[in-house]
Amino acid sequence: MKIVIVNYGSGNLRSVQKGFERAGYAAAVTSDPKAVSDASHLVKPITESIRSGKPYLGICLGLQILFTEGMEFGPHPGLDLVPGQVIRFPENELKVPHMGWNQIRIEKKNPVLEGIPDGAYFYFVHSYYGAPKKNEWVATTTDYGVRFPSAIAHENVFACQFHPEKSQKLGLQILANFAKLN
């Protein structure tokens, strides 16, 4: 098994790597295309690898990039794997960014959610959320003034808006469950 965290020049990649290590799995951070190609599991957006069937774990922006379009700093195209938009929380109604612990509601079973109870708390830091055109990708939802998909899942893809690497025991369970996927 070779878990690769793609270094896209931003984010707290080392904390994701340390999360996998605490869950008992080695992971490497790289931007080397050969290492990404050789990976058995990917943690960050790589369209060809997702389409080839490799397990993909998207965290925060790694979830948002899967959508058709993102609205941060104006409209920008995403990977268009999940039809829909990434939109901002309404600032006049909510404290933005959504930061801190919040509950998830499991909407559909997925191997990455094995051992995770409905209503479990995870750590969030984000100002935007994915709004899919159809609910078939929605694995969990969270309520923060608006009910939004906090995790999406389909075939080899699992992506979460929350940060499992910062979500203590249950977050490490998510990382371990992902690492066990074939």
**Model's pTM, two decimal places?**
0.86
Percentage of the chain surpassing pLDDT 70?
A: 99
Give the whole-angstrom CA distance, residue 20 versus residue 51: 24
List, for residues 58-94, the tens digit of each pLDDT value: 999 999 999 999 999 899 999 999 999 999 999 888 9
Domain map of the chain by residue range?
3-179
Per the rule left: phi > 0, alpha: psi between -120 and 50, beta: everything else, 44 is left
Residue 9: pLDDT over 80: no
* 25: number of Cβ within 10 Å: 18
List, for residues 118-141, the tens digit of each pLDDT value: 999 999 999 999 999 999 999 999
In this prediction, residue 115 has a pLDDT band, given cuts at 50, 70 and 90, of very high
- Tokens 């055109």, residue located: 133
Question: What is the SS3 string spanning 46-111?
Answer: CHHHHHHCCCEEEECHHHHCCEEEECCCCCEECCCCEEEEEEECCCCCCCCCEEEEEECEECCCCH
Residue 13: pLDDT over 80: yes
Give the whole-angstrom CA distance, residue 150 versus residue 173: 16
**Catalytic site positions:** 60, 163, 165
Give the whole-angstrom CA distance, residue 109 versus residue 170: 16
List, for residues 32-55, the tens digit of each pLDDT value: 888 888 888 877 756 888 888 999
pLDDT at 36: 82
Mean pLDDT computed over every residue of the chain: 93
pLDDT at 44: 72
pLDDT at 110: 97
Q: Which residue has the higher pLDDT, 46 or 165?
A: 165
CATH of domain 3-179: 3.40.50.880
